Chains A and B, each alone.
Chain A
């Protein structure tokens, strides 16, 4: 009897999860993200771009509601890709009703719910957002954003102890890179036989930036001067 009740209860719970409308799901995630008014996070930034060889840099990430975001180099040299200010998804979901939600089913491999967000504002920088959501955990695991000016970029998030705030422990930001070339007359390169000639391998390649957060200070206040 207990077993039957457990099965019925499980089915009921899964039905409840399944039954979430796209709007409900987005609202739940939005509420979770809105718990964060601001944060300061320390992190390690790894650049993986075809024309850059760089060590892992220490960065500090600042966020303040509704859409202020800044990644600051703590030491060393780091390269922050264009559009990376949108790694905080609270901005995309902040204004409920400012977008149409289209349910695109589930990703077969992962079972993540796919929702497409179409901004209603014609001047919005983001033209289309595709969110891959873990319904149970109410967390966005993946996002693909198509922007007006900075092409398409993808975000992949892993969560840990800050999952209750919807804040990831690790973000992988993938973006399109333009080709990089300096005149040889400027660089006076030494030809050690290693460097390849420019070709398709350098053009329109995907670059990746990984930020691994080590600690968040949530809702402790962030000075506006940081974002200037």
Chain B
């Protein structure tokens, strides 16, 4: 099985299109970094415009640092990375069916469940490598370009500030959480891939689901807030930000605190349940699937 996994990972990384995602991510991140390097002060000024009435000259210089740049990048990017994850996970089974090699694979001396486990593990591995790539560029390159200082996180009704030595562990946990979210998307694309004999279908369907769910997540309509939103996996994928929401006593940030850890754990649990559900459906269907190609 390990050998099979190695082969699957080799197949993923042998395809030139796999690297499109890495190139696209690098391009987006570098473009954002260039924009913030030259126009970051204006951007931060806009971000903090609500405070201008109460405070003197806002500390835009110190606020714009590598940690904030990483936060801005993740804010923009983690909505789009799932699309890139879908490119590989949606192709995992449907791609084989499309090329006519799925039947050959299924005839190997491994069970269909083992085959799916290997295929999904390879997709998850790709997702993690992609996330590590995001971390290297968004966090470490930003630190290199912009330096470090305290992190100021703008929220709808609050501005949370944390000291620079209280940030890196938050990013480590945020990336771990993002991994859970992206693996959930990979599981969705993978499940749809099992149903299809053409990789375009599952990829496009996954992208459409993410777009629709993200719109529903961001819409502030009370009816959806109370009915659909709490159950959408895209709502819980934003849980990585929870690590940057801090507790305070008399306005003073409590070092090492997380405002609502229970909510983050609940979101992680919901994403894991979704992942298990998607994989369960995929395994159930694939076991019974009549493989003709």
| Contact yes or no, B47 A82, CB < 8 A | no
Within 8 A of A (CB), among B256-278: 259-260, 263-264, 267
Instruction: Kindly provide the distance from the CB of A145 to the nearest chain B CB, expressed in whole angstroms.
Output: 16
Q: How many Å lie between the Cα of A82 and that of B242 in the bound state?
A: 31
Closest to A191 in B: B235
A34-42, A89-97, A98-106, A180-188 - interface stretch: A180-188
| Contact yes or no, A189 B238, CB < 8 A | yes
Q: How many residues of A contact B (CB 8 A)?
A: 50
Interface assignment of A220: CB less than 8 Å from any CB of chain B: no
Within 8 A of A (CB), among B221-243: 229, 235, 238-242
Q: How many Å lie between the Cα of A202 and that of B248 in the bound state?
A: 16
Instruction: Kindly provide the distance from the CB of A3 to the nearest chain B CB, expressed in whole angstroms.
Output: 50
Q: How many residues of B contact A (CB 8 A)?
A: 51
Interface assignment of A51: CB less than 8 Å from any CB of chain B: yes
| Contact yes or no, A175 B245, CB < 8 A | no
| Contact yes or no, A207 B59, CB < 8 A | no
Main secondary structure of the interface of A (DSSP, over half): loop
From B155, B161, B252, A195 is in contact (CB under 8 Å) with B155
Within 8 A of B (CB), among A168-219: 175-198, 202, 207-208
Interface assignment of A80: CB less than 8 Å from any CB of chain B: yes
Residues of B within 8 A of A (CB): 47, 50-51, 53-59, 62-63, 75, 79, 149-150, 152, 154-164, 218, 220, 229, 235, 238-242, 245-248, 250-253, 255, 259-260, 263-264, 267
Task: Name 11 extra pairs, CB < 8 A, besides A53-B160, A76-B150, A192-B239.
Answer: A52-B158, A54-B161, A55-B162, A56-B252, A73-B59, A82-B56, A180-B158, A187-B75, A190-B240, A192-B259, A198-B157
Residues of A within 8 A of B (CB): 46-56, 71, 73, 75-82, 84-85, 175-198, 202, 207-208
